Structure 1
């Protein structure tokens, strides 16, 4: 499903159920030393997705160990992202130098828990959602949360800095796209710092999915 909102040069794979028979590398097993069973299942299945995505680029499986902030450390020459929520796990990868960063996020397509929108959304975003967003049939509060998660997943590897939910304004567009306008200095990609980060979204099959793929400058 995540492939619907990714460009053709980004390889992806997903699963709707956890798979217990995926062998892990010793480094990955070490990262799970204190993990509860649910975390072990999520970790294992999403790495199975990542290996299938890497194979889509013609690359062999490699240990994908969580680094700072839990982001996986990808093999040299690869950028990527993983996500998991109830009933869905996915990974997406691309080669460098053609792609600078990839961020994906999956969420259950339902309203955010009470109080979360007040933390995630800026006043203008909350007002837009209160007015009905871009139309019925979409939980725009959940999609906003997902979009900001995807933006963070490209922001952090490029900057090694935190990005607060309120430091970007997300605007959703017709046709399944969105733009995150940064309210703080953005990462340098090419000759200048980014001021906006574009992305894509879809809501289908009980899921809200978002993706950000930043091409490397030519």
Structure 2
């Protein structure tokens, strides 16, 4: 499903359950040595998706380790993003020559737990959530906002190496075009992102892909 949200230069591989025979490099095993079986299984499956996607780019299997703040470390010349939630794992990768950055996120299509929306949104965002919920109550707009901000962070962090708080990105959503726009706090390497979203099969999927030609000049 995620491929519907991404340009043709991106290779995406998704799984709707864990892969029983998914294997890990020793360096990856060390990252989940103390994890419960469920966590290890989802970790292995999303990396199986990553290796399959990298293979379609012609990149041989390599460990996908964690860098600063848990961000995946991709092979040289590759940009990518991973996500997982109950019943879904996904990885999307591209050549750095084609894409400047990419961010994908998957969430269960259900309302956010009590109190979370106030922590991740401002009054203007809650206003459009209420407005859109009145017209399309079948969409969990609060969860969509959360997922989109996760995609924003995943696209932002590889460019800056800096934390981006939920309050640093103000989001608006176009329900007709199924797009979202994030305006970022001034002073960063980018001033905003535009992404796409999809609600289907009990999932909310969001994605951002910025072409290499869109990279701002310095």
TM tier relative to shorter chain: over 0.9
Deviations 1:70-115 (A, max 9, x none): 1110001100000000000000000012211110000001111111
- TM-score normalised by the chain length of structure 1: 0.93
Q: Output the CA distance in 2 between the equivalents of 1:29 and 1:66.
A: 12
Task: Name the counterpart of 1:4.
Answer: 4
Q: Among 176, 193, 203, which residue is 2:178 paired with?
A: 176
The answer on 1:195 being equivalent to 2:191 is: yes
Instruction: Trace 1:20-39 onto structure 2 (pairs within 5 A).
Output: 20-39=20-39
Q: Output the CA distance in 1 between the equivalents of 2:59 and 2:14.
A: 17
What SS does the aligned partner of 2:103 have?
strand
Offset of residue 36 of structure 1:
1.7
Instruction: Trace 1:45-84 onto structure 2 (pairs within 5 A).
Output: 45-84=45-84
- TM-score normalised by the chain length of structure 2: 0.93
Q: Output the CA distance in 2 between the equivalents of 1:131 and 1:38.
A: 38
Task: Name the counterpart of 2:164.
Answer: 163
Task: Name the counterpart of 1:217.
Answer: 213
Q: Output the CA distance in 2 between the equivalents of 1:130 and 1:186.
A: 30
Change (3 A) 1:134 1:178: farther
CA contact (8 A) 1:12 1:56 kept: no
Could you tell which deviates more after superposition, 129-138 or 164-173? 129-138
Offset of residue 186 of structure 1:
2.3
Offset of residue 133 of structure 1:
4.7
Deviations 1:129-170 (A, max 9, x none): 122358412111000000000000011111111111011111
Offset of residue 67 of structure 1:
1.3
Task: Name the counterpart of 2:140.
Answer: 139
Q: Output the CA distance in 2 between the equivalents of 1:49 and 1:125.
A: 34
Q: Output the CA distance in 1 between the equivalents of 2:43 and 2:134.
A: 35
Q: Output the CA distance in 1 between the equivalents of 2:54 and 2:133.
A: 36
Deviations 1:33-70 (A, max 9, x none): 22221210110000011111112212221110111111
CA contact (8 A) 2:171 2:181 kept: yes
CA RMSD of aligned residues (A): 1.3
What SS does the aligned partner of 1:132 have?
helix
Q: Output the CA distance in 1 between the equivalents of 2:180 and 2:134.
A: 11
Task: Name the counterpart of 1:190.
Answer: none
Q: Which consecutive unaligned segments of at least 5 residues does structure 2 have?
A: none
